[in-house]
C-alpha cells in the first residue's frame, strides 16, 4: 500500500526565529523521521508575495527558510522539498479551483476578514490594503494541498480554517466533475506550547519580540538575558506554570533536566541563573545547525540545486494529477 502523504508549506515572510522552530520546524521534522508517510514540504514563496514586495527580501527570506530546514535536519532524499514558484502546475490548478470557489467562502476567511474588520475600526474603506493575493490566499493553499492528493496537513492552529476551506473546495470539485481529489485532514500539534517572546507575549514577528533562531552565541546570550521577568527575589519559591522562562527551558532541556529545574523553582532560584541555563541548553541544540546554516547561506547554489531537484520530483506527481483534473473538466 502507498504511504499517506503529509504536506505542509512554510511561508518565507521573515528571518527564522525560535517560535518557528519549536512550533513548526521541529514537529514537522519529527514527523518526517518515522517514515510512515511521504513528507512533502515546500517554501510557499507565492503566498509571501502578497506581503513581501521587495525583491531582495523576497529572495533572502526564501534562502533563509530553506537553509534553516536543511541545517536542522530535513533530508531532501526522503522528503520532497521545493519552492512553490518552481511548480507552475499549482498555479494552473489555482485557476481551476478559483472557478469552483464561491466568493462568500473567501469573505469568511480569517486573514481577509480581520483586515476588513481592522479597516472598519479605523474608519477606512473596507478594501484598503487588501490585494487579490490576500483575498484568494486560501485558494492557492487549496491548490498546494489538493494537487498532491495530500492526506495529512500539519499546521498551526491559525491555518486550520484554510485546510477546511481546501476540503470544501475539493468536495465541490468532486461533486461537480466526479471523484478526483482526496479530502485532506489537518493535523495540529496540540502539545506545542505557545512560545513566549522577549516581552512575554507570544513570539511573533508582528510583535517584534522574536529571538532569531541562528543568532550567534554572544547575541543569543544577550537576547536571552533580555527576556522580561518580574521582580520576585531569587530565594522565593516560584511556579513553573505560566513561567515563560520555564516554557523555553523545557523545549530544549532533556526530561531529567526539566524535572530538576522544576525542583529549583520550588526551592527558589534567581531569574539570572535560569537564563544562564536556558542559554546553555539552547546553544547546545543550536550550535551545530547554526554553523551549517551559515554554510548553506554562503553556498546558495547548493540550495538552488536541492530545491530544483525537489521541484522535479514534485512536478512529476503534480503533472499527473493536473492532467487527470483537466480531462475531467473537459480541457
Ligand atoms: N498558509 C500557511 C502559513 O501561513 C503556509 C502554507 C501555504 C501552507 N500553503 C500551504 C501550509 C499548504 C500547509 C499546506 O503558515
Can you give the residue ranges of every domain in the chain? 5-195+300-329, 214-293
* Beta strands in 139-270, from DSSP E residues, in sequence order: 152-155, 185-188
Best residue for ligand 1 mutational test, from 11, 49, 94, 189 (most atoms within 8 Å of Cβ): 11
Residue 126 is assigned to a ligand binding site: no
Q: Top-level CATH class of 5-195+300-329? A: alpha beta
| Interval 232-250 mean pLDDT | 94
Retrieve residue 75's grid coordinates. Answer: 533530508
Residue 92's pLDDT is what? Answer: 98
Residue 286's contacts (CB-CB under 8 Å, 6 or more residues apart) are 213, 214, 220
Residue 299 is assigned to a ligand binding site: no
H or E stretch at 82: strand 80-83
Residue 144 is assigned to a ligand binding site: yes
Question: Collapsing DSSP states into helix, strand and coil, what is residue 74?
Answer: coil
Residue 131 is assigned to a ligand binding site: no
Retrieve residue 324's grid coordinates. Answer: 487527470
Spatial distance between the Cα atoms of 321 and 274, rounded to a whole number of angstroms: 53
The ligand 1 site (C-beta within 6 Å) comprises 7-9, 11, 44, 47, 141, 144-145, 153, 155, 159, 162
- C-alpha distances (whole Å) from 27 to each of 13, 74, 161 are 20, 12, 20
Q: What is the pLDDT of residues 150-188, one digit of tens each?
A: 999 999 888 999 999 999 999 999 999 999 999 999 998
| Interval 129-143 mean pLDDT | 98
* Check whether domain 214-293 has CATH 1.10.240.10, yes or no: yes
**Choice between 274 and 31, residue whose per-residue pLDDT is larger:** 274
Other C-beta atoms within 10 Å of 51: how many? 12
Contact 44, 11 (CB under 8 A): yes
Question: Collapsing DSSP states into helix, strand and coil, what is residue 186?
Answer: strand
Q: Is residue 321 scored above 70 in pLDDT?
A: yes
Q: Which of 28-42, 110-124, 140-154 is predicted with the least confidence, judged by mean pLDDT?
A: 28-42
Residue 12 CA to ligand 1 center (angstroms) comes to 10
Residue 234 CA to ligand 1 center (angstroms) comes to 43
Residue 109 CA to ligand 1 center (angstroms) comes to 14
Residue 1's pLDDT is what? Answer: 65
Whole-structure pTM value: 0.93
Q: What is the pLDDT of residues 195-239, one digit of tens each?
A: 899 999 999 988 999 999 999 999 999 999 999 999 999 999 999
Atom of ligand 1 nearest to the CA of 144: 12
Residue 54 CA to ligand 1 center (angstroms) comes to 21
Amino acid at each position: 500500500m502507498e504511504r499517506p502523504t503529509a504536506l505542509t508549506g512554510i511561508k518565507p515572510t521573515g528571518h527564522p526565529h525560535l517560535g518557528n522552530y519549536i512550533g513548526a520546524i521541529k514537529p514537522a521534522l519529527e514527523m518526517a523521521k518515522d517514515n510512515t508517510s511521504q513528507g512533502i514540504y515546500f517554501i510557499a514563496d507565492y503566498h509571501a508575495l502578497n506581503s513581501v514586495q521587495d525583491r531582495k527580501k523576497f529572495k533572502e527570506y526564501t534562502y533563509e527558510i530553506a537553509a534553516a530546514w536543511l541545517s536542522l535536519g530535513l533530508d531532501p532524499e526522503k522528503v520532497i522539498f521545493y519552492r512553490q514558484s518552481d511548480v507552475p502546475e499549482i498555479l494552473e490548478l489555482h485557476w481551476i479551483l478559483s472557478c469552483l470557489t464561491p466568493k462568500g467562502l473567501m469573505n469568511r476567511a480569517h486573514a481577509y476578514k480581520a483586515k476588513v474588520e481592522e479597516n472598519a475600526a479605523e474608519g477606512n474603506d473596507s478594501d484598503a490594503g487588501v490585494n487579490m493575493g490576500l483575498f484568494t490566499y486560501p485558494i492557492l493553499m487549496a491548490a498546494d494541498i489538493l494537487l498532491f492528493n495530500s492526506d495529512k496537513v500539519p499546521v498551526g492552529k491559525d491555518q486550520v480554517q484554510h485546510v477546511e476551506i481546501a476540503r470544501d473546495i475539493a468536495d465541490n470539485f468532486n461533486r461537480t466533475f466526479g471523484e478526483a481529489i482526496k479530502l485532506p485532514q489537518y493535523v495540529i500539534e496540540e502539545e506545542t506550547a505557545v512560545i513566549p517572546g522577549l516581552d512575554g507575549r507570544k513570539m511573533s514577528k508582528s510583535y517584534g519580540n522574536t529571538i532569531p533562531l541562528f543568532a550567534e552565541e554572544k547575541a543569543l546570550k544577550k537576547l536571552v538575558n533580555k527576556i522580561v521577568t518580574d521582580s520576585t527575589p531569587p530565594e522565593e519559591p516560584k511556579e513553573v506554570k505560566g513561567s515563560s522562562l520555564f516554557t523555553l527551558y523545557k523545549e530544549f532541556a532533556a526530561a531529567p533536566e526539566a524535572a530538576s529545574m522544576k525542583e529549583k523553582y520550588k526551592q527558589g532560584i534567581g531569574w539570572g541563573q535560569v537564563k544562564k541555563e536556558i542559554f546553555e541548553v539552547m546553544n547546545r541544540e543550536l550550535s551545530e545547525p547554526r554553523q551549517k546554516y551559515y554554510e548553506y547561506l554562503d553556498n546558495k547554489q547548493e540550495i538552488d540545486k536541492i530545491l530544483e531537484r525537489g521541484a522535479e520530483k514534485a512536478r512529476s506527481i503534480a503533472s499527473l494529477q493536473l492532467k487527470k483534473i483537466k480531462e475531467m473538466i473537459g480541457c
